[in-house]
Structures are given as C-alpha cells and as structure tokens.
Amino acid sequence: MRILSLQQTPVHEWPFQNAAARGGTEIQTLPLLRATVDGLPPDIEALIALSDLQGVAPHALHGGAVALLGEVLADELALMGEVGDIPHPSRTGILLAGDLFSDPSANHRGASGDVRSVWSAFAAQFRWVAGVAGNHDTFGSSRERERFIQHPGIHLLDGEVRELDGLVLGGVSFIIGRTDKPARREETDQLERIRGVLRQEPEILVLHEGPDAPAEEFRGNSAIREAVEARVGMLVVCGHSHWDMPLVTLAGGAQVLNVDARAVLLVRS
C-alpha cells in the first residue's frame, strides 16, 4: 500500500491533558489528518491509524467524566462516521501502534498500564482493530491477555500476519532495549520477528518503535530502517518517537507513516 497524498490541515482536532516534561499537566491537541492511498479492499472504505495517545480528556458521552484519550477518540470518531463526516465505522478498520495509557491525572510522564479499555472501545464500534503493544501498554495478567485477544474483531500482533477483509497486515510489538525492563527485546530478537513478518509480504507493517529517517533527522531505530527501507509498496505505521512530518519515504523506497500523538484517516484515492 502506498500513500498518494496527505493533507497537512487537520480534518478535526481534539484537546486533551498530557503530562508535561517538567511535571504537572498541559493541554495539547491531537489532529486528525486525511490521506489517500492507492487501494483498499472492496469491503473497506477507510483505515484510521493512531498511536501514543498518552493523555486524558472529558468524555462527552459519559457526562464529561475524564477518560483515556483513546476511549474518547473511539466514540468521537465513530460519531463522525455515523453522521457522514468520515466513512462509516462499520466499513473502517483501526490500526493502533501502541502506548495508549495515561495516568488518570495526566501528570506522570511515561506511565504504564492496562489499555484493554481503549482496544475494546474501538472494537465495539469499528469493523475491526489491529495493531501492536507499545512499551507502556499492559493487557492484564497473562491469562487475561490470552482471553482478551480471542475477542472478535481484536487482532493484537507480535510477529504475526493477518488477512483482514483482503488486507494483509503484519505487526511486531514492543521496542528494542534492555530486557530487564518491561516490553523490550534484544535487537537481534526484535529484528528476527520483523524479518519473519516481512517474509510474508504484508501490505502494512505496524510497529511501535519504527525506523529513523536520516535525511529528515527524525528519530527512530536505524537497524529497523535497514530491515524495512527497501520494501517498496509496503507502508510502515509506527509511533514512539514524534516526527514533525507524519510521512517519509526512505531511501530504499518504503514509506513510513508516523502517527505518534496524531490520527491519520486513510481513504482510497
């Protein structure tokens, strides 16, 4: 899959509370951008890609009570689809690239916690939700996680490839790092999982930690870039490190869509 165009002016924006770098909270805005792609399966009108939703916001459908940003976005995006502002949720797939948790007060940067409520909120209203776990995501106990991933419409990927409505998706969870910390793998192990997915030739590869982009001086992992950059025709969706520009074409031809703290609506041209 290739992105043909991406509008820089947001279709919509949502204010939310986020943990500030030096303590306390700050108000930030999450944009929804619109992009066109060279093709989608007949039963799918759109995909929405998101990651790093590490904040909270008032939930209008629950009396203004504060909820995880991802839960709020699931309902807000579904409502936009119901009224026709974007494609209907029944014909829209969701791609989640990890890190969906926030401390309830949004004043602790890098908090980790259970994100099943975000996944469930999207799965309840959209055609399906697929993606990966970030380094701050948990899914309950190991038994609870296994039960959760059996739910219809939920596709949590970590080295697997799924064909959903004719769209071939692959994903690898977590990041490269010290293995004495949660949700991290040694570089060789993570790259082997990525290469195993690539051998199955997915149209979209979802990662939490993605490649770097040296020409633009955008942060990421150089070893992951070397593994994916020559995959022309494959779209990499990732987060973890924020890029000023969401879309980059690597030197080898692969496209990378960075959705850290943003949402991107992908529709056929």
Per-residue pLDDT of the chain (269 residues; tens, 9 = 90+): 999 999 999 999 999 999 998 889 999 999 999 999 999 999 999 999 999 999 999 998 778 889 999 999 999 999 999 999 999 999 999 999 999 999 999 998 889 999 999 999 999 999 999 999 999 999 999 999 999 999 999 999 999 999 999 999 999 999 999 999 999 999 999 999 999 999 999 999 999 999 999 999 999 999 999 999 999 999 999 999 999 999 999 999 999 999 999 999 999 99
Domains of the chain, each with CATH number or no CATH: 3-268 (3.60.21.10)
Q: What is the pLDDT of residue 244?
A: 96
pLDDT score recorded for residue 68: 97
Residues 6+ apart with CB under 8 A from 223: 176, 187, 191
- What gap in Å lies between CA 252 and CA 154, rounded to an integer? 32
- So what's the pLDDT on residue 22? 82
Answer for the pair 171, 205: CB distance below 8 angstroms, yes or no: yes
* 46-51 vs 262-268, strand pairing mode: antiparallel
When computed from its CA atoms, the radius of gyration of the chain, rounded to whole angstroms, is 17
Q: For residue 61, give both structure tokens.
A: 């459908």
Question: In this predicted structure, what is the pLDDT of residue 64?
Answer: 83
Distance CA 210, CA 265 (A): 19
Contact 57, 182 (CB under 8 A): no
Distance between CA atoms of 212 and 226, rounded to whole angstroms? Answer: 9
How many of the other CB atoms lie within 10 Å of CB of 153?
A: 18
Q: Which of 232, 76, 68, 237 is nearest to 157 (CA)?
A: 237
> What confidence score (pLDDT) does residue 61 get?
79
pLDDT score at 148: 97
